[in-house]
């Protein structure tokens, strides 16, 4: 299924029904008086969060949503039926913004959470409401009110406990495939991962946490280089960021510089990301060679008081220790 995490849509709540102008006309009932009924309320536009969806794909292909208008009032003081509400299911983690002001209207971060984003118009009153001792035969009624309309932006922010970040080919996809049941695409070329992947990590004591594999950043991402910043919104909810750095003898660039490059890009996106707890995993330990790159990165992390874990997804070395550490950090944050 195609992963879509950003869409713009238009919504229009239903208009209210018109009030009715009617007069009671029955045999043996002289001067029956006005009996026009009220119009019904227009339908609301409602967003509801569900775990049955994990993408905004459906909303990409249908950009306009309208609710039913209220029915008009009728004689004999019969009120029109309310318009049917339009309920739009969205994935848990969806953020709804006003497209004009960019104000955040809702953050649907739990199952079943819902929000009336556009209210239906109120139905008009029938002429029966306007009869007075001095105006016993009103020949007018209220029109229904217009329903609210909005242009909206929907963003999906995945709900994960741990966010995996790092340069392309740092080993993020391989790690998530080893510690969870996720099966991302793995290859020996950059930008293998084009969409975020989620994996559930289960421990022996039945604890579990969710890991998000974010497509690789590169220097200059804030200017649109590589995949840019388009997926960084998915690490905003995480409890901890795990920075993966290639320490193999075939790795490109200095490992410390690689770590600092990504942190600079995070800061350019949002300073809040830099405030999140971070740990570093030196990947591809099985092909670390003389381990000069490993030692340099380990010394840097020690100096900066950053928790460091050398691991090998191929052999499993260091993986269990890393998983237990992440589980404890997630629990502390919670």
Q: pLDDT tens for residues 20-53?
A: 999 988 877 777 889 999 999 999 999 999 988 8
**pLDDT digit string (tens) for 235-269?**
788 889 999 999 998 888 899 999 998 888 888 88
Determine the pLDDT at residue 227. 47
Supply the pLDDT for residue 192: 46
For the chain, which ranges sit under pLDDT 70?
1-3, 182-195, 206, 216-231, 332-334
Cβ-in-10-Å burial (0-12, 13-18, 19+) of 54 comes to middle
Query: What residue ranges in the chain does DSSP mark as E strands?
Result: 6-12, 45-50, 64-66, 86-91, 94-98, 104-108, 114-118, 149-156, 162-165, 197-202, 208-213, 240-246, 278-283, 307-310
pLDDT in tens, 79-109: 999 999 999 999 998 999 999 999 999 999 8
Query: Cβ distance 78 to 37 under 8 Å?
Result: yes
Question: Measuring CA to CA, which residue among 220, 328, 308, 236 is closest to residue 274?
Answer: 236
What is the per-residue pLDDT for 230? 63
- The DSSP letter of residue 222 is G
Strand partners, 88: 47
Does the 162-333 domain belong in CATH 2.130.10.10? Answer: no
Residue 30: the pLDDT is 75
Domain range summary for the chain, segments of one domain joined by +: 6-156, 162-333
Spatial contact of 176 and 164, defined as CB atoms under 8 Å apart: yes
What would the DSSP string read from start to end of 207-220?
Answer: -EEEEEEPPPP-TT
Query: For residue 261, what is the enclosing H or E element?
Result: helix 255-269
The CATH number fitting domain 6-156, selected from 3.50.50.60, 3.40.50.300, 1.10.10.350, 2.70.210.12? 2.70.210.12
């Amino acid at each position: 299924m195609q992963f879509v995490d950003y869409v713009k849509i238009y919504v229009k709540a239903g208009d209210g029904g018109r009030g009715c102008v009617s007069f009671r006309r029955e045999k043996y009932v002289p001067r029956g008086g006005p009996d026009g009924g009220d119009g019904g309320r227009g339908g609301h536009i409602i967003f509801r969060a569900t775990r049955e969806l994990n993408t905004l794909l459906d909303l990409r292909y249908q950009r306009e949503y309208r609710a039913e208008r209220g029915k008009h009032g009728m004689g004999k003081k019969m009120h029109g039926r309310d318009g049917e509400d339009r309920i739009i299911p969205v994935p848990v983690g969806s953020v709804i913004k006003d497209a004009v002001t960019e104000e955040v209207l809702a953050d649907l971060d739990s199952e079943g959470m819902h929000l009336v984003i556009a209210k239906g118009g109120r139905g008009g009153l029938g002429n029966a409401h306007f009869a007075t001792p001095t105006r016993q035969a009103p020949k007018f009624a209220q029109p229904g009110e217009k329903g609210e309309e909005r242009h909206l932006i929907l963003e999906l922010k995945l709900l994960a406990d741990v966010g995996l970040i790092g340069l392309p080919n740092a080993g993020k996809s391989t790690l998530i495939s080893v510690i969870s049941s996720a099966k991302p695409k793995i290859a020996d070329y950059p930008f293998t991962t084009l969409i975020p992947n989620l994996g559930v990590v289960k421990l022996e004591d039945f604890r579990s946490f969710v890991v998000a594999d974010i497509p690789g950043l590169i220097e200059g991402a804030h200017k649109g280089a590589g995949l840019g910043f388009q997926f960084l919104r998915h690490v905003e909810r995480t409890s901890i960021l795990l920075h993966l750095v290639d320490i193999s003898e075939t790795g490109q660039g200095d490992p410390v510089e690689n770590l600092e490059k990504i942190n600079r890009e995070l800061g350019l996106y949002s300073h809040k990301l830099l405030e999140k707890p971070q740990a570093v995993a030196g990947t591809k330990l099985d092909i670390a060679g003389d381990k000069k790159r490993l030692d340099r990165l380990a010394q840097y992390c020690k100096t900066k008081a950053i928790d460091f874990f050398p691991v090998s997804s191929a052999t499993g070395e260091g993986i269990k220790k890393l998983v237990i550490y992440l589980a404890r950090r997630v629990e502390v944050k919670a």
